Structure 1
């Protein structure tokens, strides 16, 4: 997921990695940075979040605000993702309760 000059990628089952998207003409001759699966631009790692996707999106929004970019449209996306995350957590809790009741 890309938000302006930042990209979020799933690192592993526990965390999301936030990267800064480097300019198109960036020289990666030292092969220091990985490429984005979206458009093959190079990504500089910034932070790893042992948390949720909403937390990573919120952090990208903070970076964009520091850069002076308009983030209003991303706030709406964040609200939708938080709502989805909450409903999935509730569903997982309900499924766990049903499983425990059967045992």
Structure 2
């Protein structure tokens, strides 16, 4: 049931975006919480597996930047949707 609803939502978004002249792009969110949005590496210090789901904040062992899990993922997803590196997205 959830898959049908999700598919319908994506179909409607695609239609609405096309009608408004906006590009709709679906992005694979896999590993976006684990990839450092500052240096682009997949560091050893990243939150891993089911146990890592409880980790809300982590520090990249490669560049030393501390990340909020959700903000890091959102920067990586935005970068993937725009076809660029998250490193180029300014931190607010």
TM over 0.5: no
Question: More relative contact order in 1 or in 2 (CA 8 Å, sep 6+)?
Answer: 2
* TM-score using structure 2 length: 0.26
* TM-score using structure 1 length: 0.24
Structure number with bigger Rg? 1
